[in-house]
Amino acid sequence: MKATVSLPLLSATNVDAGYGHVRVLESVSIDVRQGRIVVLVGRNGAGKSTLLRALSGLNRPTAGKVTFDGRDITTARPNAIVDAGLLHVAEGRRLFRRQSVADNIELGRYALRLTEQEHDRRVDRIHQLFPILQEKMNLPAGSLSGGQQQMLAIAQAMMREPKLLMLDEPSLGLAPVLVDQVFAAILALRAQGVAILLVEQLVEHALEIADDAYVMQNGRVIASGPAAEIAAGDALQAAFMGEHGAPHHPEPRQSGS
């Protein structure tokens, strides 16, 4: 079954998920449509990263349903979800630091059968989008700067030509000029038809490039809509100022590993 324009590419319905017996997400529903940038905003501990982990199969949902590209992936294994075209670039890039940049890119296409031309075409596209990586192909990934590492993590995902790319805090720890580069890459990917689900702490910047937005608080979605409306609305304020009975001190970050 192929997703049509009217059907969302990714659809999560009433998803519960967490770590062991700790439930983090309560009945979360989101949709991501083809070729759109969707941003998830909310404070630390709101459940944004947990949602991405639930969608990519790292933390299997305990309730609810996730469909992607017309398939039910609620209980699918992470590698099956990757094969379906849903890629997740985790917080902190999570590269294979001891292996070279070239090897990391090759691992991005693991278990994928590509013709040589197709393989080279994808590598060329990565080099076009991130020329700096071309110069560093033989260095260990761990020796790259934070920005270059983020580019490499996106490049790994690009080897699979994902339908939907989920990015968790891609700007974390980057200098402003590199943030701009990463955001430009996100826009370039959308221009190629890739849908993006973005978790981002630079809320204003993210809402500027996004089409749709979800505001999360305490494991729930408290508002959703076009990014411009969310940027102007009250829910954002509420989520970050700690209304709805949320504590004022920052909650511990969900690292999950």
Partner 1 sequence: MDIDVLAHGIVAGSLYALVAVSFNILYRPTNVFNFAQGELVMLGAMIFASLTSLAGMPWLVAFAGTLVAVGCIGLVEERIAVAPILARSQTGTGWVITTLATSLIISNLVGRFWGPDPILVKPPALLSMDSLDIGASRISSYEIALVLVTLVLVAIVERVYRTLKGKAVMAVAEDREAALLRGIDPGSLGRWSFFLGAAFAAMTGVLAAPILYASTSLGPDLLLKGFAAAAVGSIGNNRGALIAGYVIGVTEAVGASLLSPGYQEAVIFIVVLAVLLLKPEGLFGSPNARTV
Q: Is residue 89 a contact residue for partner 1 (CB under 8 A)?
A: yes
Give the tokens for residue 154.
């996106």
Q: Which residues pair with 11 in a beta bridge?
A: 31, 67
Q: Is residue 90 a contact residue for partner 1 (CB under 8 A)?
A: yes
Q: Is residue 61 a contact residue for partner 1 (CB under 8 A)?
A: no
**C-alpha span between 194 and 17 (Å, rounded):** 26
- Number of residues engaging partner 1 in binding (CB under 8 A): 28
In the bound state with partner 1, the residue whose beta carbon lies nearer, of 31 and 103, is 103
Residue appearing with tokens 């408290």: 222
Query: HEC profile for 193-212?
Result: CCEEEEECCCHHHHHHHCCE
**Which residues ranging from 169 to 228 are in contact with partner 1 (CB under 8 A)?**
none
Which residues lie closer than 8 Å to 192 by C-beta, 6 or more apart?
none
120 φ/ψ angles, rounded to the nearest 5 degrees: -65, -35
Q: Is residue 82 a contact residue for partner 1 (CB under 8 A)?
A: yes
Q: How far is the CB of 224 from partner 1 (least distance, A)?
A: 26
The region of 39-47, 102-110, 115-123, 243-251 touching partner 1 under the rule CB under 8 A is 102-110
The region of 4-12, 71-79, 124-132, 191-199 touching partner 1 under the rule CB under 8 A is 71-79
Please pick, from the candidates 7, 107, 182, 228, the single residue that binds partner 1 as defined by CB under 8 A.
Answer: 107
In the bound state with partner 1, the residue whose beta carbon lies nearer, of 142 and 193, is 142
The region of 4-12, 62-70, 82-90, 198-206 touching partner 1 under the rule CB under 8 A is 82-90
Q: Is residue 60 a contact residue for partner 1 (CB under 8 A)?
A: no
Half-sphere exposure of 229 (CA within 13 A, CB side): 8
Which residues lie closer than 8 Å to 172 by C-beta, 6 or more apart?
91, 92, 146, 201
Q: Is residue 96 a contact residue for partner 1 (CB under 8 A)?
A: yes
**C-alpha span between 251 and 43 (Å, rounded):** 8
| Contacting residues toward partner 1, per CB under 8 A | 56-58, 77-79, 82-83, 87-90, 94-99, 103, 106-108, 110-112, 156, 160, 257
